[in-house]
Amino acid sequence: MKSNVTLKNIADELGISTMTVSRAINNKANVDEQTRKQVLKKARVMGYSPNRIARSLVNRKTQTIGVVLPEISHSFFPDVVMGIEEAAYHKKYQLFLTNSVEDHEREKQAIETLRSHRVDGLLISCAQTAEDSSYYKELVKTGLPVVFFDRSVENIGASCVVIDDVESSYKVTAHLINSGYRKIGHLSGPEKVSIGNKRMKGFKKALADHGLEFKESRVVESGFLKTGGYKAMKELLSLPAENRPDAVVSVNDPVAYGAIQAVREADLSIPEDIAITGFTDDAMAPLVDPPLTTIFQDGYQIGLRAAQKLISVIEKKDFKIETIYIDTSLVVRSSCGSSVINA
Amino acid sequence: MKSNVTLKNIADELGISTMTVSRAINNKANVDEQTRKQVLKKARVMGYSPNRIARSLVNRKTQTIGVVLPEISHSFFPDVVMGIEEAAYHKKYQLFLTNSVEDHEREKQAIETLRSHRVDGLLISCAQTAEDSSYYKELVKTGLPVVFFDRSVENIGASCVVIDDVESSYKVTAHLINSGYRKIGHLSGPEKVSIGNKRMKGFKKALADHGLEFKESRVVESGFLKTGGYKAMKELLSLPAENRPDAVVSVNDPVAYGAIQAVREADLSIPEDIAITGFTDDAMAPLVDPPLTTIFQDGYQIGLRAAQKLISVIEKKDFKIETIYIDTSLVVRSSCGSSVINA
DNA sequence: TTGTACGCGTTATCAA
DNA sequence: TTGATAACGCGTACAA
């Protein structure tokens, strides 16, 4: 072990008590200016680094936040982390980052470890494989402050920071309908994940409101990754020509990228043969070929607000359990050719 | 404060000593099977979560690793984090993630906080604004295990996990030359950052080896972000026609994306008027228009190896200070038109 | 097999 | 203003 300097070491060197050193270093009022200067100088010379572990044990406060992500390959999550980072930095909290890799067991394990490290609060976006919300309910019951974001569990006593998934999905689907598409398919997220079923709901509602029939065969569950989108799109492309969708709403951008790849490989063109839309507006969306029509979802803002909410709960400045909605907007690019409007 | 169950609480409930409970929970040998079962059951019922803070104080070991990143918007870093995550997960370490946002002051502060939390080791990729390596030198001297990755500081007593930047940059530049380009420019990283000057070095060497003159005017420092690439490319485009590069080597992919945007806005085409190359082969590279020729740099692998090395140093299974090189490869796509070869 | 005493580094509290 | 003491929750070392 590397030998770390302690308050006592400094105290001994100076021939004073540990408490005086502690007070001097923590800028407490009742310390003689002379002594304080001596202490600070000695601390610097000796390379003192305060031991937060010991302090935490006394204070029952670690100044840490545990972040539980389902994945980090999609740029949405790094964006969220940047927002969280920013809020945490300003309030002097450190982040424990964990990645469940969409595995609920691994997620539970991560949360237990985080609890063990006595994080002051938890920021969670659920793993895809969570069968039900019982674990999260138990977690919230322990009293540890929790805020969900993106993939949330509502009404179990924890605040959530989300977008209006139903409305956003409705918005993009309606845009396709208004652009003239009639046979619209959906590459969906898992039914059990909040954003998966909400986006499906918005999709269905848009069809219904515009008098279009919902066809089960045009919906394929793709998960949230590019590879899933690729496979799912292949499936849609194998439908008999008359049933094949002329437009596809993807549950997120990566899935849309996979879909684009599948369409290209089938030698079809976008949006002439099939229009594709995404969801997130990640960094790639404007750069892919063709540029992707999608819903802009402000990951940074989601992370920022979630962290701010959590910290105010931790610091008991806020007791309200609420669902905070972050605005989204439709970003129209060429992947759903407005040309059709003129058709 | 939420009241957490302690070993003593369990012991009192069972009318036995704290130590027996501790032993039972930590699966030590000398515990009666009956007692162990009782203890484990009681622990479960009471919702016991071992306090690692207390344990760390005794052990002088926290099972945590501090990760210091310069930014996380470029997908390279999330890739690295995934690799680190994986290694850490298997060896049962938790990650403290910090983002210096390219600010050396913020980076130093993050490192001090991490030290304060008594992380067992540090994984660092340097912030762009670090003027010199003195701080890192001091840090390494404290004896805290440190491994640098990507933007490294070599020969100061810490291991590094990097790619051969000089050779990789040489490779992509030589490819342009062999494709027929003669007026090659460079959007460079900061001179003070390891990867910045090494990639510049490789660029220069390739020109020299192929008998091409190095022109200062065709080099613009772009930093590492897309916006910087955009601005820097604008500058190159404003050169008098005869001096304007016919190909540009970008220090990384985001800079290349910015450059692509600038070229497009100038109504020039890629690669006919100007070829562009990147560096990293991030997720976007194959999807942008035109698909980007670039150097594939395996972020996941870099993260994995760096974390493995750090952990073996932490656990004293490895004392060697070394620089580990991760292989790269040239990925040729249409942004540097092989058409030119036929010209 | 089980229990007691003590220490890890810090801070709260009370006394000087 | 300064100091002594106890406590945070756990594990090591030793004793029973």
Where residue B1 falls among pLDDT bands split at 50, 70, 90? very low
Q: A2 pLDDT exceeds 60? A: no
Cβ separation of A117 and B53 shorter than 8 Å?
yes
pLDDT number for residue A231: 98
Quote the pLDDT of residue B340. Answer: 42
Distance B93 CA to D16 C1' (A): 38
Residue of B nearest to A290 (CA): B289
Q: Mark which residues 319-338 of B lie under 8 Å from A by CB.
A: none
Check if A98 contacts B (Cβ < 8 Å): yes
List of E strands, chain A: 64-69, 94-99, 121-124, 146-149, 159-163, 184-188, 219-221, 247-250, 275-277, 294-297, 323-326, 328-331
Least confident piece of the model among A65-74, A254-263, B12-21, B333-342: B333-342
In whole numbers, what is the pLDDT of chain B averaged over residues?
A: 94
Q: Is the CB of A233 under 7 A from strand D?
A: no
What pLDDT, on the 0 to 100 scale, is given for residue B283? 84
Task: Kindly list the residues from chain B whose CB atom is less than 8 angstroms away from the CB atom of residue A78.
Answer: 72-73, 75, 77-78
Residues of A in contact with B262 (CB under 8 A): none
**Residues of chain B numbered 128-147 and touching chain A (CB < 8 Å):** 142-144
Beta strand pairing status for A328-331 and A294-297?
antiparallel
CB contact under 8 A, A114 and B94: yes
Question: Which of B44, B53, B111 to mutate to test binding with chain A, by most A CBs within 10 Å of its CB?
Answer: B53
Mean pLDDT of A94-99: 96
What Å value separates CA A6 and C1' D4? Answer: 18
| Nearest alpha carbon to residue A188 among A174, A202, A207 | A202
> What nucleotides of chain C have any atom within 7 angstroms of a protein Cβ?
1-5, 7-13
Residue B240 has pLDDT above 50, yes or no: yes
Furthest-apart CA pair in chain B: how many Å?
A: 90
Per-residue pLDDT at A99? 96
Residue B120 has phi, psi (to 5 degrees) of -80, -20
A1, pLDDT greater than 50: no
Whether A131 has a pLDDT exceeding 90, the answer reads no
Touching A: B residues 63-82, CB under 8 Å: 64, 67, 72-73, 75, 77-79, 81-82
Which residue has its C-alpha nearest to nucleotide D7's C1'?
A58
Report the predicted TM-score, pTM, of the whole model to 2 decimal places.
0.93
Q: What is the mean pLDDT of residues A45-74?
A: 96
Give the model's confidence band at B3: pLDDT under 50 very low, under 70 low, under 90 confident, else very high. Answer: low
Chain A residues within an 8 Å CB radius of B288: 284, 287-289
- Predicted confidence (pLDDT) at residue A241 exceeds the cutoff of 80: yes
Q: What is the maximum alpha-carbon separation in chain A?
A: 90
Percent of chain B scored above 90 by pLDDT?
92
Indicate if CB(B26) is under 7 A from strand C: no
Residue B269: pLDDT above 60?
yes
Residue with CA nearest C12 C1'? A58
Lowest mean pLDDT among A45-54, A329-338, B186-195: A329-338
Q: Are A284 and A79 in contact (CB under 8 A)?
A: no
pLDDT per residue as tens digits for the range B34-56: 999 999 999 999 999 999 999 99
Return the closest-CA partner of residue A65 out of A47, A48, A84, A82.
A84
Considering only CB atoms, which chain A residues are within 8 Å of B142?
Answer: 2, 47
Cβ under 8 Å to A: B residues 279-318:
283-284, 287-289
Q: Over 80: is that where the pLDDT of A162 sits?
A: yes
Q: Which residue has the tokens 């067991």?
A: A105
> Quick check: B94 pLDDT over 90?
yes
Q: What percent of chain B has pLDDT over 70?
A: 97
pLDDT classification of B24: cutoffs 50, 70, 90: very high
User: How many Cα neighbours within 13 Å face the side chain of A339?
Assistant: 10
The reported pLDDT for the residue numbered A340 is 42
pLDDT at B2 (0 to 100): 54
In this prediction, residue B193 carries a pLDDT of 94
Mean pLDDT across the stretch B239-245?
Answer: 93
A183-238 pLDDT, tens digit each:
999 999 999 999 999 999 999 999 999 999 999 999 999 999 999 999 999 999 99
Summarised one tens digit per residue, pLDDT across range B177-222 is: 999 999 999 999 999 999 999 999 999 999 999 999 999 999 999 9
Asked if A117 and B106 come within 8 Å (Cβ–Cβ), the reply is no
Contact B322, B274 (CB under 8 A): no
Residue B126 CB neighbour total at 10 angstroms: 26
* Distinct helix (H) and strand (E) counts, chain A: 12, 12
Choice among A102-111, A312-321, B124-133, B211-220 with the minimum mean pLDDT: B124-133
Distance, in Å, from the CA atom of B289 to the CA atom of B338, rounded to the nearest integer, reads 16
Average pLDDT over residues B2-20: 92
Q: Report pLDDT for B289.
A: 87
Hits for CB < 7 Å against strand C across B residues 50-69? 54, 57-58, 60
Average pLDDT rounded to a whole number, residues A245-258: 97
Q: How confident is the model at residue B287 (pLDDT cuts 50, 70, 90)?
A: confident
Q: What is the DSSP letter of B4?
A: P
Residues of A with CB below 8 A from B116's CB?
A: 49-52
Q: What is the pLDDT of residue A216?
A: 96
* pLDDT for A121 beyond 60: yes
Task: Tell me if chain A has a CB within 8 Å of the CB of B7.
Answer: no
Q: What gap in Å lies between CA B275 and CA A264, rounded to an integer?
A: 24
Residue A253 scores a pLDDT above 90: yes
Q: Which nucleotides of D are covered by protein (CB under 7 A)?
A: 1-5, 7-13
Structure tokens, B229 = 């690439």
Contact B79 A73 (CB under 8 A): yes
